[in-house]
Amino acid sequence: MDFSLIDFVRRLPKAELHLHIEGTLEPEMMFSLAQRNGLILPYASVDEVREAYRFSDLQSFLDVYYAGAAVLQTEQDFFDLTMAYVCRAIADDVRHAELFFDPQTHTARNVPIETVFAGIAGALRQARSDYGFSSRMILCFLRHLSEEDAFATLDEALPLRAEYADLWVGVGLDSGEVGNPPEKFAGVFAKARELGFRIVAHAGEEGPPSYIHGALDTLRAERIDHGVRSEEDPELMRRLALEKIPLTVCPLSNLKLCVVPHLREHNLAKLLRSGLRVTINSDDPAYFGGYISANFIQAAEALALSRDEIVQIARNGFLAAFVTDDQRSLWLRDLDRAASL
């Protein structure tokens, strides 16, 4: 184990841009929330939960992940979940995080969308005032559901927009990718764009490069979440580099979901060295075995990333963040300082 690498990574200021807040539900919290809410889990112990985290693909993970999210019922539950993530992120010197959240996972269980917003935003606002932690919220539509359902979710959330204007800046697209191309959501993303929301979308995690084209051309995504299959399309690679489209790559996620058999075979370094704006993120860290620093460290070790490349990836995170240029400059200055120590 290279302790100097661990130390170097931990103290680099970072931005996390691909993080599902529901994916930060650690087994210990799953048990404590189940108890608080009078629910019985289908697991006898925390160890048994971790034992169940053996996934063969994205869907095998999503089945476990949506079942686990059922313990989230009250505003306090969403607050506690979010605050626990923030504390871990601060320990990794994350300065800014853009959190995905999936309202449909909760409204389908009759949890009001107001409860979801209030709990997550309450923790993020407290983190801002107590620790100076910067954040944004990105509402994701579940792509295995219909576009009509996505429209209904947007309509349900819109009355909350003014109350959460400091945090809720964008919409995204997640859940089972294959068979649910971006074009299925053309209408609802057009509406979100007209309303002035920032746009991101998962694409090219398991789905083909054509889904990345669809996310860019039809949804007008400003960032691509994952995007690792772009490598299969040289023309797309040139476009992503030329247009500086950020890819929010999640190495441990790709490993756990068998997108790659080993981190040594991850194409992150190849994408970076082809001039793409690659960032590193943790996706669903409670399920995939590591938060953002663990993703940096394990990718750096497996792919022999240089210190300069590690700093470039951290820099890309700030370059791709939905913040003002003044704020961005302050973090980039801090990053340069930390990198030169």
Give 80 or 206: the residue with its C-beta nearer to Zn ion.
Answer: 206
- Residue 92 interacts with Zn ion (CB under 5 A)? no
Q: Tokens 């009355």 belong to which residue?
A: 159
- Residue 282 interacts with ligand ADE (CB under 6 A)? no
Interatomic CA distance for residues 293 and 315, integer angstroms: 14
- Residue 290 interacts with ligand ADE (CB under 6 A)? no
69, HSE (Cβ side, Cα atoms, 13 Å):
24
Residue type, 203: A
Give 95 or 256: the residue with its C-beta nearer to ligand ADE.
Answer: 256
Helices 292-303, 3-10: axis angle to 10 degrees equals 140
- From the CB of 326, what's the least distance to ligand ADE, in Å? 32
- From the CB of 65, what's the least distance to ligand ADE, in Å? 6
- From the CB of 265, what's the least distance to ligand ADE, in Å? 18
In terms of Cβ atoms closer than 10 Å to its own Cβ (0-12, 13-18, 19+), residue 191 is: middle
Give 20 or 95: the residue with its C-beta nearer to ligand ADE.
Answer: 20
Catalytically active residues, by annotation: 205
State which of positions 35-64 bind ligand ADE (CB under 6 A): 58
Q: Which residues pair with 223 in a beta bridge?
A: 200
Contact pattern from residue 267 through residue 286 relative to Zn ion, giving x for each residue in contact according to CB under 5 A and a dash for the rest: ----------------x---
Q: Report residue 209 as tokens.
A: 């490069």
- From the CB of 22, what's the least distance to Zn ion, in Å? 10
Pick from ligand ADE, Zn ion, none: which does 23 bind, CB < 5 to 8 A by kind?
Answer: ligand ADE
Give the H/E segment covering residue 157.
helix 147-157
Number of Cβ atoms within 10 Å of the Cβ of 238:
13
Contact pattern from residue 236 through residue 255 relative to ligand ADE, giving x for each residue in contact according to CB under 6 A and a dash for the rest: -----------------x--
- Residue 283 interacts with ligand ADE (CB under 6 A)? yes
164 and 137 Cβ atoms separated by less than 8 Å:
yes
